[in-house]
Amino acid sequence: MRKGREKSGGLSRKKKAVIGTACGLAAAAAGLSGATAVIMKKQFPRGEYPDRSETAYYRFEPDFSDTHRRENVQFKSGENTLQGYIYGLENSEPKGLLVFAHGIYAGHESYIDELMWFADRGWLIFTYDATGSCTSEGEGTVGLVQSALDLDKALDYVESDSRLSAHPVCLLGHSWGGYAVCAVQNFDHKLAAAAELSGYADPAEMLELGSERAVGKALTKVFRPFALGYNKLMFGENAGLNAVEGINKAAIPMLIIHGENDDYVDYSRVSILSKEKQITDPYARFMTLRGKYADHNDFFNSERSNLYQEPFRQRLEELKKEYGGNVPKEIREQLIAEEDPEIVNEVNEELLTAIEDHFLQALKG
């Protein structure tokens, strides 16, 4: 028997300890990887439109279908078929083509008031429901980079359609879509201008913020490498697709808008606007929305709309407390039925006019 060997095993105690530790770490890593996959899939589920009885916000049908035209088209993004939509076909000489990217857990009709505002002012509009969203295929929304990949495929479709490609392209997006209209500029598309609202700059940075909300800061430190690994597994070479790098590469007229009270895509921590010093695009403009309703979503509404909705929102919160968060459907429907949809759906004209002015100025050269 050689020195240092055990009769029963042939390995030293030290080597056994090392192997045991390695196996334990491997098992722990496997467990954390599995847990991360579960958490990430929960963070990026499908987005669906709410039941019409549960919201006073308009949809295309029946609220606009009598006065506006819409054409449905399809295109592929990865393995999924996405549902695209063309609006503004009634405009025989459109000002340009507006390509719109929606926020996560929503669909393009969540912004139908704003889209119809542009259609009424002479724009041709191409939009779509992204992967895992509403009318499009996909088990879930996949991750933070997916919106940019979907927009890349949407622009490929635009460039293949002679009706759409005949017009200069202006991009507009919110949140997930706000990131998309900037990050997609890393790819080669001919764009006239872009505007984003409430977008995040870096998927890894936003992922960390989201992880903190999901599992807390302490666990985020443990999960962070696994979350980044999951992101890399999902998106490969595009995992680090960055909005600021896209803006700097394309150097087109870019309008960057963010609400000062946004704590979802945190204004001071992860927003594209917070990276102003890193943006070298000489045509970039920055707009901070201020005031009570300058958060992640409410700024889309007129001030009258937001003020009008406050008591209804407060009542809904009271009902949630009363029913332990599960308000009976009939009670929720009754509350919604009391709202005046015309006021609820009033848009922020000042904001939309500023965005359109930005586009028109770019189109004039």
Q: Confirm if 320 and 331 have CB atoms less than 8 A apart.
A: no
Average pLDDT over every residue of 297-302: 98
Is the residue at 307 inside a domain? yes
Check pLDDT > 70 for residue 24.
Answer: no
Instruction: Give the CATH number for residue 294.
Output: 3.40.50.1820
pLDDT of 214 reads 74
151 and 219 part of one domain: yes
The bridge status of strand 169-174 relative to strand 193-197 is parallel
Check pLDDT > 70 for residue 133.
Answer: yes
Is the residue at 12 inside a domain? no
Check pLDDT > 60 for residue 48.
Answer: yes
pLDDT in tens, 314-337: 999 999 999 998 999 999 999 999
70 and 150 part of one domain: yes
Work out how many domains the chain is built from and give that number. Answer: 2
150 and 279 part of one domain: yes
Is the residue at 40 inside a domain? yes
Band of pLDDT at residue 218, cut at 50, 70 and 90 = confident
Which residues are 267's β-sheet partners? none
Instruction: Find the farthest-apart pair of alpha carbons in the chain and give their distance in angstroms, rounded.
Output: 93
Is the residue at 8 inside a domain? no
Average pLDDT over every residue of 129-156: 98
Average pLDDT over every residue of 291-311: 98
pLDDT in tens, 255-272: 999 999 999 999 999 999
Check pLDDT > 50 for residue 27.
Answer: no
Is the residue at 19 inside a domain? no
Nearest alpha carbon to residue 68 among 31, 1, 123:
123
159 and 233 part of one domain: yes
pLDDT in tens, 220-256: 777 788 888 888 999 999 999 999 999 999 999 999 9
pLDDT of 5 reads 37
63 and 185 part of one domain: yes
Distance CA 137, CA 132 (A): 6
Is the residue at 2 inside a domain? no
pLDDT in tens, 7-16: 344 545 544 3
pTM, full prediction? 0.89
Q: How many whole angstroms from its chain centre is CA 160?
A: 25
233 and 338 part of one domain: no
253 and 322 part of one domain: no
Is the residue at 14 inside a domain? no
265 and 218 part of one domain: yes
Specify the residue for token string 């979503």: 297
157 and 259 part of one domain: yes
Check pLDDT > 80 for residue 349.
Answer: yes
134 and 171 part of one domain: yes
Which of the two residues, 301 and 209, has the higher pLDDT score?
301
pLDDT in tens, 74-132: 999 999 999 999 999 999 999 999 999 999 999 999 999 999 999 999 999 999 999 99
Is the residue at 205 inside a domain? yes
Q: What DSSP string describes 240-288? A: T--HHHHHHHH---EEEEEETT-TTTTTTTTBSGGGGGG---TTEEEEE
Domain that includes residue 106, residue range: 27-301+349-364
189 and 310 part of one domain: no
297 and 308 part of one domain: no
% the chain with pLDDT above 90:
80
Band of pLDDT at residue 20, cut at 50, 70 and 90 = very low
Long-range pairs, 335-338, Cβ under 8 A, ≥24: 336/53, 336/54, 336/55, 336/56, 338/312
pLDDT of 42 reads 83
Identity of the residue numbered 135: T
- Of 19-23, 239-243, 338-342, 352-356, the least confident: 19-23
Specify the residue for token string 């872009």: 194
